[in-house]
Amino acid sequence: MKRREFLILPAKTLGGYLLASTLAGESLFGQNAPKPEADVKIPLRFFTAQEAAVVSAMTERIFPTDASGAGAREAGVVIFIDRQLAGPYGHDKYRYTKGPWVESIPEHGYQGQANPRKIYRDGIAKLGDFTALSAANQDQALIAIERTTFFQMVRTHTLEGMFCDPLHGGNADMVGWRLIGYPGPVMAFRHEIEKYRGVPYPKVEPQSLEQMLGRKVPGWEDEPV
Amino acid sequence: MERLKPVDVVVIGGGFTGLLMAKELATRTSLSVVVLERGPDRKLLDYMDDMDEVDFSLRFRMMQNISEETVTHRHTTADRAVPVREWGHVRLGTGTGGSGEHWTGVANRYPEDTFVIKSAIKERFPAARIPENLSVQDWTVTWKDIEPYYTKVEELMGIGGKAGNLQGRKIPGGNMFEGPRSKEYPVRPHLQNYAMTVFEKAARELGYNPYINPAATLPADYTNPDGISRPACQYCSYCMLYGCMIGAKAQPTNLLLPILKQKKAFSLRNGCWVRRIVHRDGHAEGVEFMDEQGRECFQPASLVIQSSFTSGNVRSLLLSKIGTPYNPATGEGTLGRNFTHQMSGGGNAFLVYPTKMNAFMAAGGQGMAFSDFDGFNRLEPDAQILRGGTFTGGGGGGHPIASFGATPPGTTTRNWGSAWKQAAIEHNDRTGGGPGFSAEHLAYRQNFLDLDPTYTDKWGDPLLRTTIDWTDHERRMRDFSARISDQMAETMARVSGAKLYQRPAERTGRRSGRYQTASYATTHLHGGAIMSENPREGVVNTFLQHWDVPNLFVLGASAFPHAGPTNPTMTALSLTLRSADALIGRYFKNPGKLV
Ligand SMILES: Cc1cc2nc3c(=O)[nH]c(=O)nc-3n(C[C@H](O)[C@H](O)[C@H](O)COP(=O)(O)OP(=O)(O)OC[C@H]3O[C@@H](n4cnc5c(N)ncnc54)[C@H](O)[C@@H]3O)c2cc1C
Ligand code: SF4
């Protein structure tokens, strides 16, 4: 059996709720949240620790932590991506994958045979020792691959992991939603829509789907493949 | 193959049209009705858990599993068709209610002259102006025939809107260019958000007649004539691509199923995939399907209702070898002919509003429109187009992932990294564009449907092949719409204090001007099994009865001879009710050809 790989991160880098929202069902700490100065070990579902480090570094260049606020690191974007790739999406379970595979015009979209897992694995391998580079050199390396399917996919997934419901493992502690003032999947705005017409909605504490419903909702990534 | 107990009626596909027909038959006759639906059962409670953008908007969790069946596309018969591998230009539903569960609920009627398009164009333009390969034809129904059914469907769903033409009396605030209505809408129009008020002001300033879109997402509590009560919409924004967790959006599962479930003679079987209609000597004997356990079954029936959406209907007829496939080279055959896809367009403006718009408070169907350019209205001679269309805007529905990242053209060199992130946060929930455009897609000889020679579904049956491209006429329609839209955007900027930018036409389809399958257009596919005055010009008669097989009825937009200018469902359901009346009033008394 494959040895279980972990992503090791200092607890304080991730949104405070990480353990509640991200590690659900993976009892690493029992009931006790780790101290901020401790490291957290996040079990990986698809990536090796090495690959996770590369992808994490990429997402941090795409959506950096900076003066404008939290970035991919605090949101735990790499955890989101790892789970997506481990689930039906990564395996192309819901894509039409019968041959013959032929190249076609851009109007027909992506016609390649590689599934997201393979696109990541191959793309990461080509990047080499990415984590050893300085931030500026990392940017140069990414600019060089900007037009590839791999980079486009990582960029898309970075935004997804930044602003998804925390049930998917990203947007830890809803740092992404706070950044843009998104209140979460609120069910009733009937009495607000005219009141806040042309008036910014007040900064509220966002609510995740789980908080809204008072119970856990499994993401599609948990469906067996 | 397991032979099941015969039933009176078998319905292929439990979506909007199939379940509406089932409801009519089950409540107005004592016939036994079985609906075979290939997707899962759906309940209101499922829709509590679905307010999740990743799974439902981005991974299409409610859609039909495209790995099992898709369509292929090529632009012309000289090209090679490739499969649509992930949901792109269309998104087909599955499960009880079909696409009627995750639809948006924009609930327009078609304009009066859409139904007599061929005669209208002929009367209006000299022959030299009419493209030689145009194959539009009149619909076999006129406004007078369909209007009462539109009214019934609006009452069934509780459409919220304001009449603009009540028995010929023009009323500002409604769509004054609609055909004369016999009645006001049953429910008031939607509340307005910020973007809608800006749209309205600008349109008025330019002398247009804006109105709030008619919508099936209930603007107020409502009880319909069947006694079904539904609460008002809460503007949760998880609407298109989601089911409604409170039943405010008109969906088959909240309008039709509660009634059907009380009927003993009715049953709905999920997980049942119909593969063939069995027929002999012009008579349908029943359907062959794979049941939920993967067993091959035969369901004998006296009447077969084909209602698995445009693409499913045409494919089923082709696979079952009912009718003559269309041949674009010779013009012979009718099955697959006049395939159309509702046209869309719009401008190149990019607006940055002075305020956040709270786009997360929104309902499907909520928005503004003006129809001053619909049909032949105000057609500019130098635009060189045969028909105009409706301009729309102001809809919200901003989910955090999809709406993130809009920045004014030229703000940053790349769309990632610190500078871009900062600009994107600053502009988040503050950007928009000029109105969109929705228009008729006229039918042409070269656009059609047939079976793909290469690609197959999960059972090994050939996929449906779509052969379609835009012509210069549609490209001119787009140019025309861009002019109107850009002018509106300028005015919207002025009345709101927004900053106006021009954006380069980016999307592949837009740039090349060719039909594309990679990004979303609309799930409004029409034709292929069209209604006609005679068997030489179409597949079904005016009551949607198959010309060759009188005990087979084919419901839905596959019967539309061309694509109307707005969304199709009100029209598809109206024709379904008209067909039900013909079945109940005439056919069952004396089964045979109705025309
Ligand atoms: C995202 C989206 C938004 C939309 N928004 C609007 C809108 O705003 N306004 C509007 O007017 N229209 C809209 N539509 C279109 C609207 O949903 C359709 O017009 C309507 O649902 C068509 O009804 P139907 O019965 O023909 O097909 P459907 O409702 O799709 O039902 C077809 C059913 O047949 C089943 N089926 C297919 N093949 C088989 C088979 N072989 N065996 C058994 N079952 C089968 C399918 O699973 C499905 O349940 C939208 C559609 C989509 C996808
Ligand atoms: S926006 Fe309104 S109709 Fe749509 S799902 Fe939400 S509450 Fe239901």
DSSP per-residue letters across B392-418? EE------TTTTTT---TTS-SSSSSH
Q: State the pLDDT confidence band at A110, using cuts at 50, 70 and 90.
A: very high
Q: Is the pLDDT of residue A31 over 50?
A: no
A105: tokens are: 């015009």
- Containing H/E element for B512? helix B508-512
Closest CA to A105 of B9, B178, B512, B396: B512
B580: tokens are: 């039900």
Q: Is the pLDDT of residue B412 over 60?
A: yes
Total domains in chain A come to: 1
User: Running DSSP on this structure, what letter comes out for residue B390?
Assistant: E
Whether omega before A100 lies within 30 degrees of 0, making that bond cis, reads yes
Classify residue A221: in a domain, yes or no. Answer: no
- Provide Rg for chain A, Cα atoms: 19
B225: Cβ contacts below 8 Å, ≥ 6 apart? B155, B156
B561: tokens are: 């001879």
pLDDT tens for residues B339-398?
Answer: 999 999 999 999 999 999 999 999 999 999 999 999 999 987 777 999 999 999 998 778
Closest CA to B574 of B167, B152, B213, B214: B152
- Write down the pLDDT at residue B503: 85
Mean per-residue pLDDT over chain A, rounded: 89
Q: State the pLDDT confidence band at A35, using cuts at 50, 70 and 90.
A: low
Distance B96 CA to ligand 2 centre (A): 19
Q: State the pLDDT confidence band at A37, using cuts at 50, 70 and 90.
A: low
What's the CA angle centered on B126, arms B121 and B129, to 5 degrees?
Answer: 80
pLDDT tens for residues B499-541?
Answer: 999 987 654 445 678 999 998 888 899 999 999 999 999 999 9
pLDDT tens for residues B171-212?
Answer: 999 999 999 999 999 999 999 999 999 999 999 999 999 999
Tell me the longest C-alpha to C-alpha distance in chain B. Answer: 74
Instruction: Answer whether A209 sits within 8 Å of B233, measured CB to CB.
Output: no
Residue that wins the pLDDT comparison between A187 and B116: B116
| Ligand index nearest the alpha carbon of residue B50 | 2
Classify residue A183: in a domain, yes or no. Answer: yes
- Write down the pLDDT at residue A187: 84
Classify residue A200: in a domain, yes or no. Answer: yes
What gap in Å lies between CA B256 and CA B494, rounded to an integer? 46
- Write down the pLDDT at residue A13: 63
Q: Is the pLDDT of residue A20 over 80?
A: no
| Entry pTM | 0.96
pLDDT tens for residues A154-203?
Answer: 999 999 999 999 999 999 999 999 999 999 998 889 999 999 999 989 98
Q: Is the pLDDT of residue B48 over 90?
A: no
What's the CA angle centered on B551, arms B547 and B557, to 5 degrees?
Answer: 60
Domain that holds residue A28: 6-213
Q: Is the pLDDT of residue B139 over 90?
A: yes
- Write down the pLDDT at residue B381: 77
In the beta sheet, which residues pair with residue B72?
Answer: B83, B465
Mean per-residue pLDDT over chain B, rounded: 96
B190 catalytic? Reply is no
The whole-angstrom distance between A165's CA and the closest CA on chain B is 7
Q: Mutate which of B50, B249, B251 to test ligand 2's pocket (most atoms within 8 Å of Cβ)? A: B249
| Ligand index nearest the alpha carbon of residue B105 | 1
Give chain B's domains with CATH numbers: 1-152+250-341+442-467+515-595 (3.50.50.60), 160-239+343-440+469-513 (no CATH)
Q: Is the pLDDT of residue B549 over 90?
A: yes
Q: What is each CA distance from B316 to A113, A145, B326, in whole angstroms? A: 29, 45, 15
- Write down the pLDDT at residue B215: 98
Q: Is the pLDDT of residue A24 over 70?
A: no
Instruction: Answer whether B421 sits within 8 Å of A96, measured CB to CB.
Output: no
Q: Does B248 touch chain A (CB under 8 A)?
A: no
Q: Is the pLDDT of residue A33 over 80?
A: no
Which chain A residue shows the shortest CA-CA distance from B58?
A: A160
Which chain A residue shows the shortest CA-CA distance from B355?
A: A198
